[in-house]
Amino acid sequence: MSNATILIADDDEDIRLALNLLLSAQGYQIIEAANAKEIIIQSNQQQPDLVLLDMNFSRDTTSGQEGLAILEQLQPLNIPVILMTAWGSIELAVEGLQKGANDFIEKPWNKLKLLNSIKQQLSFSRVKEQNQGYRQLLAGENKKAWVCQSPSMQAIETLVAQIAPTDANILILGENGTGKSLLAERIHQLSSRQQAPLIAVNMAAIPDNLFESELFGHQKGAFTDAKQNRVGRFQLAEKGTLFFDEIGSLPLTLQPKLLRVLETGHYEILGSSQTQVADVRLISATNANLNQLISEQAFRQDLLYRLNTIVITIPPLRERLEDISDLANCFITKFSEKYRKQALSISPCALSKLKQHSWPGNIREFSHVIERAVLLTSGDKITAQQLLLENADSTDDSVMLQPLEQAEKQLIEKAMTVTGGQVIEAAKLLDISRNALYRRLEKFAIHHVE
């Protein structure tokens, strides 16, 4: 990140000079401060992109307490801070990281390690800024889509109001498409961490060999393909919420790696020996039966105990018919605005049709049906015919016998129709991986949207 401004905060003039020469040569803009008062003034006035903060000033030369006090004063400014001291210790490092520091460097510093740490923290800060607008947009959309008129959803709403302000780990259960990620976003927005990031991780989409890199990050050169520093999800979610979607799909061999950080709160970036302290609120979600996976020795019971401090089960849409009307109006408004259509309403017959449908794809399927209806409507009212649900359900309990391959093709075609050709959404609806669906689409020559 060239042209970034770095504040060097140290009472030793020689240290400031050495760092100034080193960092100026890398293209950074440098400002300096020699005492606590100057540090706070410069940080407020200049708004540097990063602070290199010595831990010992005039008060004493060994304890690091003055540096920790300055660190606390810098926290409201949301400026990344790297601590420096010639009297390093694990205890002091952990205390500094717990109070908001982003990294810890001992004097005399290793030049490459220092430059890598600065580059990584600046990159991390830039990613958080880029994600801020997206998170605000997502929060606004989710707030509009949250409907809880049915008794079962009212019970969830009451529970969420109680637990959202805490830091308790939450496990959300429910069928595909019921809105587990939407609930996670709502909990985050009602928590004390709402101003910090919400970072979602699809556990089913992470390759086994990249698991640690994705979650904890890596430094350049940590392994063969590590051509640049990477910020891990735990760092991206610092002081915010980390959402593990599809946690039941995490391979057994990787579960101990996650369990360790959940138990201790500590982890290491690949290629670094510096211990990091995780400060995140954890929310997990799955449509799997974790107790059954435990009995099959496919999921660790001790990991479940770390995840399920509070368990929330979202009911399927077929069990919350009282919400159908409000959900319909919510999505009609959303998609009318998206496609710049006039204000639409829904006919009583169409509403009745929605309530009769079994909704195997739950809210996700419901959203696609309403979106399609909005597109097909030329007047000011959505009719039952425009929902295209006439043959979607069968009340016949019998199953038509046909070749298995033909049945599979028909099921995939239906999923692709319901989701408007979106592969990721169709894969979730079919409860298979995206790659597995791609193979079948190619096999049956079915059109899809990239």
Residue 145: predicted pLDDT: 60
Same domain, residue pair 158 and 293: yes
Instruction: Show which of 104, 137, 170 is a domain's final residue.
Output: 137
Half-sphere exposure of 43 (CA within 13 A, CB side): 25
Q: Is residue 363 pLDDT above 70, yes or no?
A: yes
Tell me: the pLDDT tens digits for 87-114?
A: 656 567 677 887 788 888 888 888 988 9
Same domain, residue pair 185 and 261: yes
Same domain, residue pair 362 and 344: yes
- Rounded distance between C-alpha atoms, residue 50 and residue 21, angstroms: 17
73 or 145, higher pLDDT: 73
Tell me: the pLDDT tens digits for 175-197?
A: 999 999 999 999 999 999 998 99
Same domain, residue pair 171 and 258: yes
Q: Is residue 333 pLDDT above 70, yes or no?
A: yes
Instruction: Show which of 313, 329, 362 is a domain's final residue.
Output: 313
- Rounded distance between C-alpha atoms, residue 126 and residue 131, angstroms: 9
**Is position 393 within any domain?**
no
Same domain, residue pair 161 and 309: yes
Sequence-ordered list of residues with C-beta below 8 angstroms from that of 413, at least 6 positions apart, any chain: 444, 446
Instruction: Show which of 313, 340, 368 is a domain's final residue.
Output: 313
**Is position 146 within any domain?**
no
Same domain, residue pair 125 and 173: no
Whether 54 and 12 have beta carbons less than 8 Å apart is answered as yes
Q: Is residue 131 pLDDT above 70, yes or no?
A: no
Q: Is residue 397 pLDDT above 60, yes or no?
A: no
**Is position 394 within any domain?**
no
Q: Is residue 80 pLDDT above 80, yes or no?
A: yes
Tell me: the pLDDT tens digits for 1-51?
A: 457 899 999 988 999 999 999 999 999 999 999 988 899 988 988 889 999
- Rounded distance between C-alpha atoms, residue 185 and residue 56, angstroms: 41
Percent of the chain whose pLDDT exceeds 90: 46
Question: What does the buried/exposed string (b/e) look like for 49-71 if buried means 16 or more CB atoms within 10 Å of the residue's CB?
Answer: bbbbbbbbbeeeeeebebbbebb
Same domain, residue pair 124 and 242: no
Residue 205: predicted pLDDT: 86
DSSP 449: B
**Is position 19 within any domain?**
yes
Please write down the HEC assignment for all residues of 46-105: HCCCEEEEECCCCCCCCCCHHHHHHHHHHHHHCCCEEEEECCCCHHHHHHHHHCCCCEEE
Residue 446: predicted pLDDT: 83
Q: Is residue 302 pLDDT above 80, yes or no?
A: yes
**Is position 391 within any domain?**
no
CATH number at residue 117: 3.40.50.2300
Tell me: the pLDDT tens digits for 225-257?
A: 777 888 889 999 999 999 999 999 999 999 999
Q: Residue 290: which of 273, 275, 302, 278 has the closest Cα?
A: 302
Residue 99: predicted pLDDT: 79
Residues in the chain: 450
Residue 102: give the domain boundaries. 5-137
Structure tokens at 378: 């030329």
**Is position 398 within any domain?**
no
Q: Residue 6: which of 27, 22, 29 has the closest Cα?
A: 29
**Is position 425 within any domain?**
yes
Half-sphere exposure of 399 (CA within 13 A, CB side): 5
pLDDT, the chain, mean: 85
pLDDT band at 211 (very low <50, low <70, confident <90, very high): very high
What backbone phi and psi angles, to 5 degrees, belong to 83? Answer: -80, 150
Residue 133: predicted pLDDT: 45
**Is position 269 within any domain?**
yes
Q: Is residue 317 pLDDT above 90, yes or no?
A: yes
Sequence-ordered list of residues with C-beta below 8 angstroms from that of 342, at least 6 positions apart, any chain: 336, 380
Same domain, residue pair 63 and 115: yes
pLDDT band at 403 (very low <50, low <70, confident <90, very high): confident
Same domain, residue pair 323 and 294: no
Same domain, residue pair 164 and 246: yes
CATH number at residue 348: 1.10.8.60
The reported pTM is: 0.61
Same domain, residue pair 74 and 127: yes
The number of folded domains in the chain is 4
Same domain, residue pair 191 and 268: yes
pLDDT band at 376 (very low <50, low <70, confident <90, very high): confident
CATH number at residue 436: 1.10.10
